[in-house]
């Protein structure tokens, strides 16, 4: 915890000493370096070994700082998307959903919007307990409404899921077998 606090203060100090454009470049470089480090660390893990959570949270801090300080930059929504994915990978689904909602609300034209909507529907259907079928329906309806060009099989799968929201995914699979 102390290490994260020191790191955050250090980043703020470095960024404050730079001009805005320079700070933006420095922060993006730090994010890229952290992502490379995480990738390398992950490749070197033994089978069953997990990366220390604090490493991922340091990346989240950098991504959030970028989003917070440069919300109008094209990279800002990608930062929220990455935060959403990190928290999901950590099993912190409610926190992940919070950042995904921020992304959906603040960046309606985000290139990966369909994926985020689908991720939200799945999170509320499978991972966030108790299941929130109202939210599952909301996100799937948004996906169908906003993306008319989805593959036919995906549309059929979503409609089938919406028709059977009273069942959990496991119950639906059992029923179909």
Give the single-character DSSP code of 128.
S
Of 57, 54, 63, give the one whose Cα is nearest residue 81: 63
pLDDT at 120: 98
Distance between CA 145 and CA 142 in Å, rounded?
5
pLDDT value of residue 48? 81
pLDDT value for 20: 61
Name the average pLDDT for the chain: 89
Both tokens of 24, joined, read 């933006």
pTM as predicted: 0.84
Query: Average of pLDDT values for 139-157?
Result: 97
> pLDDT band at 22, cuts 50/70/90?
confident
The CA-based angle 13-79-19, given to 5 degrees, is: 35
Q: Which residue has the higher pLDDT, 12 or 111?
A: 111
Query: How many degrees, rounded to 5, is the angle at CA 175 between CA 171 and CA 122?
Result: 40
Mean pLDDT of the 86-107 span: 97
The rounded radius of gyration (Å) of the Cα atoms in the chain is 19
Q: Within a 10 A sphere around the Cβ of 124, how many other Cβ atoms?
A: 24
Region 75-90 average pLDDT: 97
pLDDT digits (tens, 9 = 90+) for 23-69: 788 899 999 999 999 998 888 888 888 888 999 999 999 999 999 99
């Amino acid at each position: 915890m102390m290490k994260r606090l020191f790191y955050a203060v250090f980043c703020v100090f470095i960024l404050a000493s730079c001009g805005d454009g320079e700070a933006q470049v420095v922060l993006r470089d730090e994010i890229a370096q952290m992502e490379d480090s995480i990738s390398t660390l992950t490749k070197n893990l033994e089978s069953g070994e997990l990366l220390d959570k604090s490493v991922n949270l340091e990346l989240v801090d950098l991504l959030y700082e970028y989003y917070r300080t440069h919300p109008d930059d094209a990279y800002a929504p990608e930062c929220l998307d990455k935060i959403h994915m990190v928290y999901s990978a950590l099993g912190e689904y409610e926190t992940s959903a919070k950042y995904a909602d921020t992304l959906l609300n603040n960046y309606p034209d985000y290139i990966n919007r369909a994926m985020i909507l689908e991720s939200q529907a799945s999170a509320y259907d499978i991972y966030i307990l108790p299941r929130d079928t109202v939210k599952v329906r909301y996100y799937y309806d948004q996906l169908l409404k906003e993306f008319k060009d989805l593959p036919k099989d995906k549309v059929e799968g979503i409609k089938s899921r919406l028709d059977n929201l009273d069942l959990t995914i496991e119950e639906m699979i059992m029923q179909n077998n």
